Amino acid sequence: MIVSIVLVFCILGTVVYSVAQKISEEMSESAITNLNESLNLIKGMVEAIYGKEAEFQKLIAQELAKEGFPAIVGPDLASRSKIEVQNMAFKTVGILNQAGVMTAVTTDHPVSLIQSLPLCAGLAVKSGLDLEEGYKSITIYPAVICGVDDRVGSLEKGKDADIAIFSGNPMEVFTRTLYTIIDGEVVYEAGREKQE
């Protein structure tokens, strides 16, 4: 919403400025003064919106939490050429989570590969998300949001036994996958290819 407001003001300001440049020679002194005052007003409004961005983010997060809506945030690693991600920031996950919104991190695989999901969660943790919530944002929260938490999303008796075991924190870039287990069967072991 904030981005839309700012975009509208920027477009209006650009249009007004362009028109002013083209016909300024024909305009009276008072019309130019009025136009300059309008531009200064628009500039002031845009600066006020940017100055209150953090407050707007928290208000929006509080409203989402109050209504009980979950959020799926991402793709943060995507190119900023797409309109829907131009203002994405890794801090968004933490802001929403701290307000009480169940928040999942996503990529838009195959554009931003699913392999980067733990990295995205790690960057959200670096930007303010609690570490434990970072883990949940790529495990149980997406499962709950998608309605499949009775089968996946956490390690519990009776759930699907799809597990990845890592050499360290999976949200750190130097961590390696040691084992991958699907349906209770080891399908990958580091340093050894599975024998068929």
Q: What is the pLDDT of residue 82?
A: 67
Three-class SS of residue 38?
helix
Q: What is the pLDDT of residue 195?
A: 46
Q: What is the pLDDT of residue 151?
A: 93
Q: What is the pLDDT of residue 183?
A: 84
CA distances in angstroms from 47 to 9, 36, 53, 71, 149, listed in the order given: 11, 16, 10, 28, 44
Q: pTM for this one?
A: 0.68
Question: Do 54 and 98 contact (CB within 8 A), yes or no?
Answer: no
Kindly give the parts of the chain with pLDDT less than 70.
Answer: 1-29, 31, 46-53, 80, 82, 84-85, 193-196
Nearest to 98 by CA among 146, 65, 74, 136: 65
Q: What is the pLDDT of residue 44?
A: 72
Helix or strand run (H / E) with residue 104: strand 103-105
